[in-house]
Structure 1
Amino acid sequence: MADREKQTVLVVDDIPTNLDLLVETLKNEYRVLAALSGREALDIVHSGTPPDIVLLDVMMPYMDGYTVCERIKADLRSRNIPVIFVTARDQEQDQTRGFEVGGVDYITKPVSPAVVLARVRTHLALHNQNLALERKVAERSRDLYETRLQIIRRLSVAAEYKDNETGMHIVRMSGYCRALAKAAGLDEEAVDLIHSAAPMHDVGKIGIPDHILTKPARLDHDEWEIMKTHTTIGAAIIGEHDNRLMVMARRIALTHHERWDGTGYPEGLAGEDIPLEGRIVALADVFDALTSRRPYKEAWPEDEACAHIREQRGKHFDPELTDLFLDNLETLREIKASVGE
């Protein structure tokens, strides 16, 4: 087997003769690295080419093997690397401690080369199986996420067909949501979730009669009450789920017409009782509606739209989000220009 195809074993012991024995035992089947101290071992483990498995002595100066193992397991980069203790300490409490700090096996000295080789083979085989399983799970999770995302996008497009808005509305609006969520300091995962879930905000319009949804004149009281139900209809269409993306999509559909001062619908929530994603979508949705041309209206100039949003600070919109929104207008302009009408 070519050396580049071999898996890497790191052996750690402060006594060179012990290292020599382990290296000699393993070198024909594995690429073997050696370290004389815990600190040197950690440097190798956290390097750009970490080992596939670690054979670790316990009794070493400055940093014992238990501490080294704890540090390996505490770091996200290395916590899945299997650690086998190889030590002269053979008391039950010693072995128990080794397993408690994250070791997968415990070999006592003096070692049998055949036993060492067999244990390394076994634990590397298990480790490789776990890695393959994790890759398969991650791949299936990505596929499932993409499937859900496509469903969201298709339902969003279906809602747009029922309305007078163009399909570009959801692209611009979700882009504005992403920019605002990022400006608000949300982590990348939350930013991506809002960006992906925001297009579902008006999916409930599928359930609104066409004569109301496309009416060119102002809605009367009864028609407006029906129109407002698109929020609860949207929440019902999305349904109850454990998946974070679908949970967020449902909250957005339900709350994007709530207002900071409590005068919105459907529940009359106020302030921070409105989920953050609902407050973000409220701003993005109104801005895009105001600045986009529709069959029944011309686009507002940006300065007039911003004046309206500024005037609604603390009324319709979250005051802090409003400030962030207005501070990031250049980013919003770039999004609008890249998407178009």
Structure 2
Amino acid sequence: MYDFSSSKPTLLVIDDIPENLTLMYQLFKDDYKVKGANSGARGIAVAESVNPDLILLDIMMPEMDGYEVCRRLKHNPVTRDVPVIFLTAKVDRIDEQKGLEMGAVDYVTKPINPEIVKARVKTHVALKIASDLLKGKNEALEKEVERRTSEILRQREELHAIQDVAFYAMVSLAETRDNETGNHIRRTQTYIKLLAEKLRENPSYSAVLDDNTIGLFYKSAPLHDIGKIGIPDNILLKKGKLTPEEFDVMKTHTTIGFEAIENAEKISGQPMKFLKCAKEIAYSHHEYWDGSGYPQGLAGNNIPLSARLMAVADVYDALISKRVYKPAFTHQDAVQLILSGKGTQFDPDIVDAFIEIADELYEVSLRYNN
């Protein structure tokens, strides 16, 4: 757990080469409390003793390699929640899937790029802090809650406060992780609200889409891609088309996001409409109306309405935005592509609503331009 009484988070570097330990110390000493260990066994002992906020772990070490160290860390109740980033030389043969299945959050290749490794460490330390907040382990937060109320989790306003802390931390992390999308989160949040308000004019949806429901969609929408935090940078930020294997990893962001939000819901101790809606959007916004999407292959009205709305909003924004792997489409071309997916990729009723307000959505895209 992060110690808020300390001014700096703690990093533990486990590497059998002294020069590498020195390099990491010099790189991070200004922003973090840096601990070092020159063997796997020593690293495990230090991790149990100092409870670091993140571990940088070399894979190729004598006696006990990084995979075994990671396995033991994740099976130890004291250290299992500490995020692990593997360090590996480019010439080493590594099994990324094996490491990720063990619980590692990322890989960094040596020789390291200082700015890249700093950015990744910053992201995962921030995520660890947000996770600690969600688990209610932070003493400073507990004292503040106790000061304001004697019935912490029984009071509705306190539940909302905790929810908002988690929400804004997670949204901030999503934006930081994938800088190229810029204001994508703000645009899609507004699109889904406008689409839902237009769809409400359809008699089939007037009873379902009340102001409260639309408000939940609007508030939950920014978490639709939160699972991308769990996708390795070499896939998430790749400048070019993904291989089939890489795309399979990319698709797991739906499940990662669903599980992260579900864990937050469990910690709350009771169901929350906001988190239920956020789970639906994160998990199902890549499902297709005809059943050919992922991750579950849902079809038609079996896809939650929130996710069906996000599917149109997300694709429209992706089409009109420049990406490392493609130029931006014109608004007119994007509208035609959405229309071509009516009844196959997208809910026909939502496409009809989209066509009616397409120009209004385009104005939103200009307002929140990158």
TM-score in terms of structure 1 length = 0.57
Match of 1:155 among 160, 170, 178: 170
- Secondary structure of the residue that 1:239 maps to in structure 2? helix
- Cα deviations by residue, 1:36-74 (Å, 9 ceiling, x for unpaired): xxxxxxxxxxxxxxxxxxxxxxxxxxxxxxxxxxxxxxx
Check the 8 A contact 2:240/2:324 in 1, yes or no.
no
Q: Name the CA distance, whole Å, in 2 between partners of 1:334 and 1:312.
A: 22
- Helix, strand or coil for the counterpart of 1:266? coil
CA deviations 1:201-253 (Å, max 9, x no partner) are 11111111111111111111111111111101100110153000001001111
Match 2:334 to one of 281, 302, 305: 305
Secondary structure of the equivalent of 2:292? coil
Q: What displacement does 1:157 show?
A: 2.5
Q: Distance in 2 between matches of 1:311 and 1:166?
A: 24
| Counterpart pick for 1:320 among 336, 349, 359 | 349
Contact 1:153–1:199, Cα closer than 8 Å, also in 2? no
Counterparts in 2 of 1:172-187, with a 5 A limit? 172-185=187-200, 186-187=209-210
Q: 1:270 aligns with which of 299, 307, 312?
A: 299
Task: Single out whichever of 180-189 and 263-272 deviates more from structure 2.
Answer: 180-189
Cα separation, 1, equivalents of 2:352 and 2:165 = 33
Change (3 A) 1:146 1:306: farther
1:214 equivalent to 2:237? Answer yes
**Contact 1:156/1:202 (<8 A) preserved:** no
SS state at 2:363 partner: helix
Alignment of 1:1-40 (within 5 A): none
1:234 to 243, 257, 266: 257
AA of the residue aligned to 1:203: I
The residue type equivalent to 2:185 in the other structure is I
AA partner of residue 244 (structure 1): K
1:284 Cα shift? 0.3
For the 8 Å contact 1:170–1:199, the answer to whether it is kept is yes
> Using a 3 Å threshold, how does the CA distance of structure 1 residues 215 and 192 change in structure 2: closer, same or farther?
same
Q: What CA deviation, in whole Å up to 9, does each residue of 1:66-105 have, x standing for no partner? A: xxxxxxxxxxxxxxxxxxxxxxxxxxxxxxxxxxxxxxxx
Partner of 1:168: 183
Of the three residues 224, 229, 232, the one matched with 2:247 is 224
Instruction: Tell me the distance in 1 between the aligned counterparts of 2:179 and 2:323.
Output: 7
Rounded to whole Å, the distance in 1 between the matches of 2:369 and 2:246 is: 32
Q: CA deviation at 1:176?
A: 0.1
Residues 288 and 143 from structure 1, CA distance in 2 versus in 1: closer, same or farther, beyond 3 angstroms? farther
Q: Residues 224, 296 of structure 1: CA spacing in aligned structure 2 closer, same or farther, 3 A cutoff? A: closer
Query: Could you tell me the percent identity over the aligned residues?
Result: 41
Q: Which has the larger radius of gyration?
A: 1
Q: Secondary structure at the match of 2:180?
A: coil
The aligned runs of 1:1-341 (5 Å cut-off) are 141-142=156-157, 144-185=159-200, 186-239=209-262, 241=265, 242-341=271-370
How far the C-alpha of 1:161 sits from its partner, in A, is 2.3
Indicate the residue corresponding to 1:103 in structure 2: none
User: What is the SS of the residue equivalent to 1:175?
Assistant: helix
In structure 2, the gaps of 5 or more residues are 1-150, 201-208, 266-270
SS of the aligned residue for 1:198 comes to helix
Please tell me whether the aligned partners of residues 164 and 214 of structure 1 are also in contact (alpha carbons under 8 angstroms): no
Q: Which amino acid aligns with 2:356?
A: D
TM-score, normalised by the number of residues in structure 2:
0.52
Shift of 1:153: 3.0
CA distance in 1 between partners of 2:313 and 2:349 (Å): 14
CA contact (8 A) 1:164 1:294 kept: no
Cα distance between partner residues in 2 of 1:209 and 1:196: 27
Aligned residues: 205
Structure 1 residue runs without a partner (length 5+): 1-135
The change in CA–CA distance for 1:310 and 1:304 in structure 2 (over 3 A counts) is same
Query: Structure 2 CA distance, aligned partners of 1:190 and 1:142?
Result: 20
Q: Is the 8 A contact 2:319 2:329 kept in 1?
A: yes
User: Considering only aligned residues, what root-mean-square deviation do their CA atoms show, in Å?
Assistant: 2.1
Conserved? CA contact 2:217–2:277, under 8 Å: yes
Q: Which amino acid aligns with 2:211?
A: E
DSSP 3-state at the match of 2:181: coil
